[in-house]
Structure 1
């Protein structure tokens, strides 16, 4: 039995096929261009696998996740205008013989991957943030995504500005929300240098840690999860996790007790495979529920 995975990011798509043990058999990636170009590559990849049963999709958003909605399965009001109001699930079904599709956000998929096979394995409550080109967040309680009228948009939560930060913010909607101050493009515009090129001792990392620590602080007081996982390209800076942990402890100021920081505020155990593994797991779940 084979399962498909599509991690549909704003910068690139990662497609994979895996087996019942969630082992990746084949994986490809290509740039996120127009729906016509990108989805043609997606369909061509999956058509090679005749025994594909279901596909799990984790997509950039915002997306419509309400099954009763007329636009369920659509990417909706995304800043990537070529993808606005694109019927993602409908297109897959049309092109792949009405295949069953599990549909969620890209960060929910990564959260689920870590819940199934990573830092969240064996836990009942997991929160995952990706900090990269943008900032997104997803939460799981007892295996169910935390959702209401839509999926959460945790990356656009408001944060308190660092006293030494004069950068106005980069979010086109809110200016100085978490994404506007802490995502990769914000680091580059604040410093004039891409994050991967900044030395570890650069003081701007303390500013970055302050914003991410506020994110962990707010998450702790809102959800009291058993683990908070920070993924994405920005978190590949090895010095950053410790800085975030230290700033978090200062912000909490012993108001509530929390797990040991070495296991509470962490980076993904599955590294760059968290989203793909999560999509495969969602596809497998969908098949087993049928």
Structure 2
């Protein structure tokens, strides 16, 4: 029996499968780390999973050979710095075999498995901004995972940014907290033609352009709460990225698109569980 756990900025998702039959799927609030682990274990109580796949927000040590595998690092999420999330979940759930990756790497892996792409990037824009990358079914985990959400945004963007580490990185410019700060209220109240969305597209276009220069991919999935609420952003981001690339790097039509898999990050956690079982 496989248990998949997805930890995000505000919620934790847990699911259980016996083969392809799903036995449980629940969403829990993400509180303090110890209480969150206990809540997951409580939901799984009565089942006997033998393997765990963990897809987590980062930064987190995902190197399979590292002695601190599954430990969170310096994170903006209060109270979670250095917490041994992977080992604590494995202990609480009573599983010996477990694998861990970032939530965006897991999502990229699930999307590529679904779409058949050799190389794919998954960009999520929500509480934070994360980028996952998969090539030939494998994600970058050693010596570390990508943190491309902290690349610089459009240098012309006048907003100073809210990232506690970098200020005006892409995350500091277009994440949910950044949009609240920029709009002075609830960004959901903004109209689709508000000029703020063009800045969001410009900042994300710089990120997509950088991805295409560094690790060219066949598709960029744009997921997370912000683009899900504003589906027009994908086309704007692609057009802006194409303008940045000019004639030097081809940005094909349809490069940027929405997720095709329901909860790809959680599906990716199940792929991690399969990987752990094979070790």
Q: CA deviation at 1:147?
A: 3.7
C-alpha contact 1:178 1:211 (8 A) present in aligned 2: yes
- Inter-partner Cα distance in structure 1 for 2:145 and 2:124: 15
Please state whether the residue corresponding to 1:219 is helix, strand or coil.
Answer: helix
C-alpha contact 1:32 1:38 (8 A) present in aligned 2: yes
Please state whether the residue corresponding to 1:74 is helix, strand or coil.
Answer: coil
Query: What pairs up with 1:175-186 in 2 under 5 angstroms?
Result: 175-186=167-178
- Inter-partner Cα distance in structure 1 for 2:94 and 2:142: 31
C-alpha contact 1:109 1:275 (8 A) present in aligned 2: yes
* In the alignment, structure 1 residue 114 sits paired with structure 2 residue 114: no
Work out which of the residue numbers 45, 48, 73 in structure 2 matches 1:47.
45
Work out which of the residue numbers 231, 235, 249 in structure 2 matches 1:242.
235
C-alpha contact 1:20 1:284 (8 A) present in aligned 2: no
- Inter-partner Cα distance in structure 1 for 2:206 and 2:214: 12
- Inter-partner Cα distance in structure 1 for 2:261 and 2:185: 28
C-alpha contact 1:34 1:82 (8 A) present in aligned 2: yes
Deviations 1:228-256 (A, max 9, x none): 11111111112211211221221122322
Relative to structure 1, is the Cα distance of residues 231 and 69 closer, same or farther in structure 2, using a 3 angstrom cutoff? same
Q: CA deviation at 1:69?
A: 2.6
Give the 4+ runs in structure 1 shifted more than 6 A. none
Aligned to 1:78: 75
C-alpha contact 1:65 1:72 (8 A) present in aligned 2: yes
Deviations 1:173-222 (A, max 9, x none): 11111111111111111111333221111111111100111111111111
- Inter-partner Cα distance in structure 2 for 1:258 and 1:238: 19
Relative to structure 1, is the Cα distance of residues 258 and 240 closer, same or farther in structure 2, using a 3 angstrom cutoff? closer
- Inter-partner Cα distance in structure 2 for 1:19 and 1:246: 44
- Inter-partner Cα distance in structure 1 for 2:207 and 2:24: 35
C-alpha contact 1:116 1:278 (8 A) present in aligned 2: no
Aligned to 2:149: 155
TM-score relative to the length of structure 1: 0.90
Work out which of the residue numbers 267, 270, 278 in structure 1 matches 2:261.
270
- Inter-partner Cα distance in structure 1 for 2:158 and 2:22: 45
Aligned to 1:5: 4
- Inter-partner Cα distance in structure 1 for 2:64 and 2:276: 14
Please state whether the residue corresponding to 1:56 is helix, strand or coil.
Answer: strand
Deviations 1:145-191 (A, max 9, x none): 124421111110112323xx432111111111111111111111111
Work out which of the residue numbers 102, 120, 127 in structure 1 matches 2:121.
127
Work out the number of aligned pairs and report it.
278
Relative to structure 1, is the Cα distance of residues 284 and 68 closer, same or farther in structure 2, using a 3 angstrom cutoff? closer
Aligned to 2:136: 142
TM-score relative to the length of structure 2: 0.93
CA-based RMSD = 1.7
